[in-house]
Each structure stands twice: as structure tokens, then as C-alpha cells.
Amino acid sequence: MKRFHVHVHVEDLAKNIAFYSAMFNQQPARTEDDYAKWMLQDPPVNFAISTRGGAAGVDHLGIQVETEAELAELRGHAARADLTVQDEGETSCCYARSDKYWVTDPQGVAWEQFQTLESIPVFSQPRAQAGACCARTAQPAAPAKACC
């Protein structure tokens, strides 16, 4: 199953948790000092908010998959469409370890395609390789916003 993902930067986390909890009629599945996430079943959406990043508003969109095969299928679609893919591989961000890559639409909206591998206790962990989650290179196709 694939799940639509939306991440919104907010200025007041508590106020937004109250708003979205009322709107979705459920409490977040995860809450941290700077982050909250709802894993909605109807409609199936991974909706996250955080105080990390730039200006308030939509940070990025994405598709979350359950299996490695589904992620490979999405990556194949991107390759056949000749989209520029920024592959992060296995990384940590947003209190999770994931396998992910990014594409950017013609308007500059970042799209994250990812499989969550496990939950972790911190927003992100340093990578053994050069670079880190949420610190992307300044390539034209790279998302300019924080990871989710």
C-alpha cells in the first residue's frame, strides 16, 4: 500500500496539533517537542508538522511505501520519465530511519519517495557518509526544504 505524505512547517506546534487533531478527529500517532505526525487511515495520509525549516507552509509532498519493491517501482517510474532523482539511500530524519529519494516538480515542489524502516528516538542521526539528512546539495532538482 502506498500512502500520500504531506509535511507542513508551522509556527505554533501546540496550536496546530489542536487544530489538526480536531480536523482529523484523532490525536497524532507521534509527538515530539518540534514535531507531530498523524497516520490517517481514511484517507490514508502520513501528515506531519514541525517547527523545523523555513517559512510556515507546505514543506514537501511525498509517497510513503511499505515495501522495498514498491519503492523500486516508484523509482522505475521516475527513471522512465527521465526525472532527476536525488537518492539519499538509507538515512534518518523525522524520528525515523528510511530509504528515500527525492524528485522536484517543475514549480520547485519537492517530492519525497520513501520506505520507513524503523522509528528512532531523535529527529535525525549523523550519517557515516558525507552529508546528512536535511542538508541537501544545491542542485537544481534537489529539494530546497527540510526532510521529513
- Tens-digit pLDDT profile for residues 46-67: 999 999 888 899 899 999 999 9
Q: What residues contact 83, with CB distance under 8 A and at least 6 apart?
A: 103, 141
Q: Band of the pLDDT at 128, cuts 50, 70, 90?
A: low
pLDDT at 147: 58
The answer to whether the CB of 24 falls within 8 A of the CB of 40 is yes
**Average pLDDT of 93-109?**
90
Rounded distance between C-alpha atoms, residue 67 and residue 48, angstroms: 21
pTM value > 0.85: no
**Average pLDDT of 114-131?**
81
CATH topology of domain 2-119: 2,3-Dihydroxybiphenyl 1,2-Dioxygenase; domain 1 (3.10.180)
Q: Is the pLDDT of residue 80 over 80?
A: yes
Q: What residues contact 141, with CB distance under 8 A and at least 6 apart?
A: 83, 84, 85, 86, 102, 103, 104
More confident residue, 63 or 81: 63
